[in-house]
């Protein structure tokens, strides 16, 4: 079974078509061309002079006198050359024309075979893409199956759902499973076909669909006239060959040879003799005129037939092109309709997701039905795109139309990953759905506080006076995100008293301390265990939480889907192993919009993350509110703090470093005043204490 993964290579259609000329499936067409080329050489060798000869024994009766004769036996040999002309030369020339025409036809058929293989490869590639995409969709949808099945059973047991309705919901999940298995089989078939056609050992890969364009309007028939179409080219060659035959057949049908020969005669008596002959020999049909007329009629009728076939075939090709163009327009219209339906269904799902936690369980039923309809509609969209792709491939036989098509605006087709986004967004809503069965789950809350990132904490952790705590209270700091370097971690493992004393002082001053771990390489699978070892070593210390500042952007500018998956998997592992509540520091973009196929906040909620510090390094309070408020609204069960910067190396638009302490306070208060209306707003976090402590 071929299964693509996050690490699968993306292989374009173009790369599969690059080596098509070496395909073993072209062997027969290539051999036909070789045979016809050899046939031309064979007929060419028949032109010009010919050698002939012979030998035999003759019994000769020779008159000696009037009444007497004698018999003797002679050996006769003959050798000569001849040059055909008139009808004989025409016959050879006509055969040569036919042979040359066959060569041209075999060249066209070779190109036609290449185009057929190209079409088959592209068709298999589109089928592979469609099946692969449907499997991805089905797997995303199936993530909710067990969760929804449990809720449906609870509603049935509470008398809120008929068993027949529950079975209908379950049948929908079974259909999704069936589609997933069916499409995986189709992906396997398409993959095997691609391996056979390309003669390559293809691994599982990610396919890429082409761009589709709006069809041109009011195209004339002339745009579909393609004299280079293989079928028309073959008829043209036949026509040209027949016309050459007609020119040759209009000469005299008298077949003549110019002959030069010598004869050698030897009698058994030993006497010899020879003779030389030069002359012209000929032969012709007895009914010459009848033969000539019939031959002309045959060739002229063949020409007329080919001309009729050309015009008839050209008209049929235009008709087929028109039909294919009509199908292309129909598929584009269906995509537009599909887009409208998907937009409506997406809105339905989003609204049901927001209401399902507060209203009666019937809203849950409507949500599940809406998601299933969205799934089915997405599957149909993939099918239409595959048919549109195949139609576009057929229309490539008409270059003028394709050139005109490429000048049109592209079609905006919804990304199938939108379903994954909707599923993730709905997942925690369904998880919290009660429908009169449970108490409503409220968002995780903590007191709105101002926190600081404390890096290079060695001296502060080891100091014994209260100056640090007085500074924190004066600045109304209620949270420390405490970073420990390798030596501090080692010390805390061997002698935890210093850290315990620091944490005890924090508690006395009513300040929370979360352990801050911030090596971005821990997001990678090969370094993940290092993070887990640190958690294990420090798990006896009474931190108030664990904050992971290991966002993927610190590793590369090109954050891939695979890297995001690895990052989330590291967070999931930390949540499982941590004795403290886990929060995450990340750029706000991961909360504002789906990253590739991931709804990051949805996954963080599902895995049990306590909160997020969203890095919004923007010094304009209005813009900060515009960014964060929709995120707080969209994810009401996720505690979100706003991380701001006082770092000097950032620009004025990103950091408060260039502002006065009074202005910094004013802007932060402005942000808190607007966002504190949201119950899941966790306050402000300052990057970092080393910059913030110097502000008065």
| CA distances for 559 relative to 375, 425, 479, 554, 583, angstroms | 28, 22, 31, 10, 21
pLDDT tens digits for range 168-221: 888 888 888 889 899 999 999 999 998 888 888 888 888 888 888 888 888 887
Q: In the prediction, which pLDDT does 418 show?
A: 54
> What is the C-alpha separation between 63 and 553, in angstroms, rounded?
121
> What is the C-alpha separation between 122 and 115, in angstroms, rounded?
10
> What is the C-alpha separation between 492 and 488, in angstroms, rounded?
6
Using the predicted structure, report yes or no on whether residue 537 has a pLDDT greater than 80: yes
CB neighbour list of residue 278: distance below 8 Å, 6 or more residues apart: 259, 260, 261
Most confident of 169-173, 245-249, 295-299, 389-393: 389-393
Cut 0.85: pTM above it: no
| Percentage of the chain lying above the pLDDT 90 cut | 12
Q: How many CB atoms lie within 10 A of CB 402?
A: 14
> What is the C-alpha separation between 448 and 640, in angstroms, rounded?
10
Q: In the prediction, which pLDDT does 131 show?
A: 92
Task: Indicate the DSSP class of residue 410.
Answer: B
Confidence band, pLDDT 50/70/90 cuts, at residue 406:
confident
pLDDT tens digits for range 651-673: 999 898 888 888 888 898 899 88
pLDDT tens digits for range 540-574: 898 989 999 988 888 888 888 888 888 888 998 88
The torsion angles phi and psi of 585, rounded to 5 degrees, stand at -100, 125
- Helix spans in 356-398 (H): 362-394
Both tokens of 45, joined, read 């060798």
pLDDT tens digits for range 38-65: 776 776 666 666 776 777 787 767 666 6
Q: In the prediction, which pLDDT does 66 show?
A: 67
């Amino acid at each position: 079974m071929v299964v693509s993964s996050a690490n699968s290579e993306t292989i374009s259609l173009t790369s599969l078509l690059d080596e098509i000329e070496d395909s073993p499936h072209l062997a027969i067409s290539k051999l036909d061309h070789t045979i016809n080329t050899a046939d031309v050489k064979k007929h060419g060798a028949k032109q010009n002079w010919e050698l002939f000869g012979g030998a035999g024994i003759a019994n000769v009766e020779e008159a000696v006198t009037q009444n007497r004769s004698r018999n003797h036996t002679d050996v006769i040999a003959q050798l000569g050359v001849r040059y055909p002309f008139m009808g004989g030369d025409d016959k050879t020339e006509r055969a040569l024309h036919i042979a040359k025409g066959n060569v041209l036809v075999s060249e066209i058929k070779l190109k036609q075979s290449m185009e057929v293989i190209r079409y088959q490869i592209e068709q298999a590639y589109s089928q592979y893409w469609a099946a692969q995409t449907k499997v991805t969709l089905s797997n995303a949808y199936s993530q909710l199956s067990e969760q929804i099945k449990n809720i449906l059973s609870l509603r049935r047991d509470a008398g809120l759902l008929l068993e027949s309705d529950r079975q209908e919901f379950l049948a929908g999940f079974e259909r999704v499973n069936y589609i997933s298995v069916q499409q995986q089989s189709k992906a396997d078939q398409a993959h095997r076909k691609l391996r056979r056609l390309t003669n390559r050992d293809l691994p599982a890969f990610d396919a890429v669909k082409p761009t589709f364009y709006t069809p041109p309007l009011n195209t004339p028939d002339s745009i579909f006239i393609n004299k280079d179409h293989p079928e028309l080219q073959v008829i043209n060659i036949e026509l040209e060959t027949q016309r050459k035959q007609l020119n040759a057949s209009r000469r005299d049908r008298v077949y003549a040879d110019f002959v030069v020969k010598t004869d050698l005669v030897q009698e058994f008596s030993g006497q010899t003799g020879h003779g030389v002959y030069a002359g012209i020999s000929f032969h012709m049909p007895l009914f010459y005129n009848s033969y000539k007329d019939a031959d002309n009629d045959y060739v002229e009728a063949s020409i007329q037939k080919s001309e009729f076939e050309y015009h008839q075939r050209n008209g049929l090709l235009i008709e087929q092109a028109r039909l294919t163009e009509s199908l292309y327009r129909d598929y584009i219209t269906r995509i537009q309709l599909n887009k409208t339906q998907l937009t409506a269904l997406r809105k339905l799902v989003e609204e049901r997701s927001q209401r399902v936690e507060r209203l009666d369980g019937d809203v849950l039923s409507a949500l599940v039905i809406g998601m299933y309809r969205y799934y089915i509609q997405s599957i149909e969209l993939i099918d239409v795109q595959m048919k549109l792709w195949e139609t576009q491939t057929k229309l490539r036989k008409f270059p003028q139309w394709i050139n005109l098509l490429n000048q049109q605006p592209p079609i905006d087709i919804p990304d199938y990953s939108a379903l994954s986004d909707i599923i993730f967004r709905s997942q925690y809503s369904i998880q919290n759905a009660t429908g009169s069965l449970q108490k409503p789950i409220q968002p995780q809350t903590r007191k709105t506080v101002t926190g600081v990132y404390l890096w290079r904490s060695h001296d502060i952790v080891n100091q014994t006076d209260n100056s640090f705590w007085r500074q924190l209270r004066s600045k109304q700091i209620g949270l420390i995100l405490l970073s420990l370097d390798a030596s501090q971690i080692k010390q805390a493992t061997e002698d935890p008293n210093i850290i315990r004393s620091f944490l005890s002082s924090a508690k006395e001053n009513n300040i929370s301390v979360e352990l801050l771990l911030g090596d971005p390489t821990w997001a990678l699978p090969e370094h993940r265990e290092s993070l887990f070892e640190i958690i294990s070593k420090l798990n006896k210390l009474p931190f108030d939480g664990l904050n992971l500042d290991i966002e993927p952007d610190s590793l590369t500018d090109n954050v891939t889907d695979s890297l995001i998956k690895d990052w989330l998997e590291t967070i999931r592992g930390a949540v499982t192993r941590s004795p403290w509540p886990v929060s995450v520091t990340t750029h706000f973009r991961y909360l504002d919009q789906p990253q590739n196929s991931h709804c990051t906040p949805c996954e963080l909620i599902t895995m049990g993350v306590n909160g997020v510090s969203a890095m919004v390094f923007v010094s304009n309070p209005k813009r900060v509110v515009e960014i964060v408020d929709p995120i707080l609204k969209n994810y009401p069960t996720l505690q979100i703090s706003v991380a701001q910067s006082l770092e000097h190396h950032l620009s004025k638009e990103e950091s408060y470093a260039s502002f006065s302490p009074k202005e910094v306070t004013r802007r932060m208060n402005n942000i808190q005043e607007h966002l504190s209306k949201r119950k899941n707003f966790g306050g402000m976090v300052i990057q970092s204490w080393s910059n913030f402590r110097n502000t008065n």
